[in-house]
Chain A
Amino acid sequence: MADYCVHVTIENKPGISDPEGKTILNDLVLKGSNQNISKINTAKMLKFTITENDKESAQSKVQKICDELRIYNPMVSVVTIDAFDV
């Protein structure tokens, strides 16, 4: 058993408006000399520390928790789960 860090990134599905991302883009980033930036999406990240047999088990256990407890709302959000060695 070892400790793993699992990052859960929750962001809006494509097509769901992200007014915070748009504001950061239009009112901050594009007001500088950054005209090659076309889009900014905001997201929420949770970092789990979990003790498991291996990285794959850590990732699948966190995925299960996220699904069962509605850590993200599948109607409007997508979740990306990445596990790392601590």
Chain B
Amino acid sequence: MNVGVVVFPGSNCDRDMHHVLSDVFNVNTQYCWHDKPLPENIDAVILPGGFSYGDRLRAGVIAAHSPIIQDIKKIAEKGIPILGVCNGFQILVESGLLPGVLLKNDSLNFMCEWTNLTVENNKTPFTNQFQLNEKIPIPIANGDGRYFIDDETLKQLERKNQIVFKYDQVVNGSSNQIAGVCNEDGNVVGMMPHPERAAESEINPYDNKPSSLIFESLLKKIGANN
């Protein structure tokens, strides 16, 4: 099983993600440079956090035009699991793979702190090992993390079970406290918090098991042994 971690100019969580996948969960993981074609033998793709293109113009919008995004769109249609974390989530919404948009936090501050999530959808490739409403202590680190969706589309997301994670409390002004969503098919998931910074006990002062389940869900989905 092979997982691709996409690297854009300005990605800075790619090595953390690669480390967690390969060293903690024993998955074959490879970096995929953004202007090269996506390798053919990829079973899942993760777009890591960072500041692709320095957040110029708007977070994620320039990376959304990278050549590899066209390949990712094709495999998304085939149901391959795709996860965007933080800037990866911003890239997925700017590329049209996920609904909504991420705006500057209400506080205007870059927020770097621990939050608590609630799992709202446990049917995705990244949440299938959770119980519904299970809690996840997990850090955020973003300036543009305020998820916005208009009221009508929000109703659609709720009806189609596309809200994957919510914050336990008001964090940054996100619509309905949404922290993560998926596409209609459920195989493309985006989330602002960083599971790769919370899946090991050495770096998680609360409980690393819930964040581990995000990766274990993926392993379950793609059939890898850990």
Contact = CB atoms under 8 A, between A and B. Distances in A.
Interface of A: 16-17, 19-20, 23, 69-71, 73, 75-76
Contact of B148 (A16, A23, A71): A16
A73 B64 contact: no
Given A69-B65, A75-B100, A17 B173 contact: yes
Nearest to A69: B65
Top 9 A-B pairs ranked by shortest CB distance?
Answer: A75-B101, A73-B101, A76-B101, A19-B108, A19-B106, A70-B61, A76-B148, A20-B108, A76-B103
Interface in B190-218: none
Nearest to B153: A75
Q: Which of B103, B107, B173 has the most CB of A within 10 A?
A: B103
A19 to B, nearest CB: 5
Contacts of B65: 69
B73 interface: no
Contacts of B173: 17, 19
B64 A70 contact: yes
Given A17-B106, A19-B108, A23-B108, A71 B100 contact: no
Interface in B105-154: 106-108, 148, 150
Contacts of A20: 104, 108
Contacts of B58: 73
Q: Is the interface of B mostly helix, strand, loop or mixed?
A: loop
Contacts of A76: 101, 103, 148
Given A17-B173, A19-B107, 10 more contacts: A16-B103, A16-B148, A23-B108, A70-B64, A71-B57, A73-B58, A73-B94, A75-B100, A75-B148, A76-B101
B104 A19 contact: yes
Contacts of A71: 57
Interface in B49-100: 57-58, 61, 64-65, 94, 100
A76 to B, nearest CB: 5
B82 to A, nearest CB: 20
A73 B107 CA distance: 21
Q: Which of A23, A69, A75 has the most CB of B within 10 A?
A: A75
A52 B148 CA distance: 38
A70 B150 contact: no
Contacts of B150: 75
A71 B61 CA distance: 8
Q: Which of A20, A23, A69, A76 has the most CB of B within 10 A?
A: A76
A50 to B, nearest CB: 18
B226 to A, nearest CB: 38
A16 B58 CA distance: 16
Contacts of A70: 61, 64, 94
A81 to B, nearest CB: 16
Nearest to A70: B61
Nearest to B151: A15
A73 B62 CA distance: 12
